[in-house]
């Protein structure tokens, strides 16, 4: 059985916000849509579209703001000792 091939480390700055945006928009759009429509058949028809729109906005937003977030975190969190 062969091991799963991994992407090179240089892709990490894109893969991390990609996966984060998928997971976050999945949860947030589900909660928002469920709160608006309730547990009805309309929820299951509406939620995938709401999730897709949320992700299309969230992924590029994460890519754009991640450098700023890293700088803010560096100001607030002490660097690890060596």
Q: Which of 66, 51, 53 is nearest to 15 (CA)?
A: 66
3-state DSSP call for residue 15?
helix
Q: How far is CA 12 from CA 41, 43, 59, in A?
A: 38, 34, 14
Q: Do 37 and 43 form a contact (C-beta atoms < 8 A)?
A: yes
Q: What is the pLDDT of residues 47-64, one digit of tens each?
A: 999 999 999 999 999 999
Rounded CA-CA distance 65/20 in Å is 13
The 10s digit of each residue's pLDDT in 10-60 is: 999 999 999 999 999 999 999 999 999 999 999 999 999 999 999 999 999
Q: Which of 14, 62, 56 lies closest to 48, judged by CA?
A: 56
């Amino acid at each position: 059985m062969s091991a799963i091939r991994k992407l090179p480390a240089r892709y990490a700055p894109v893969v991390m916000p990609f996966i984060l945006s998928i997971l976050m928009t999945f949860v947030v759009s589900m909660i928002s849509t469920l709160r608006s429509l309730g547990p009805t058949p309309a929820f299951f028809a509406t939620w995938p579209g709401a999730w897709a729109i949320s992700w299309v906005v969230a992924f590029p937003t994460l890519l754009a703001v991640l450098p700023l977030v890293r700088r803010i975190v560096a100001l607030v969190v002490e660097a690890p000792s060596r």
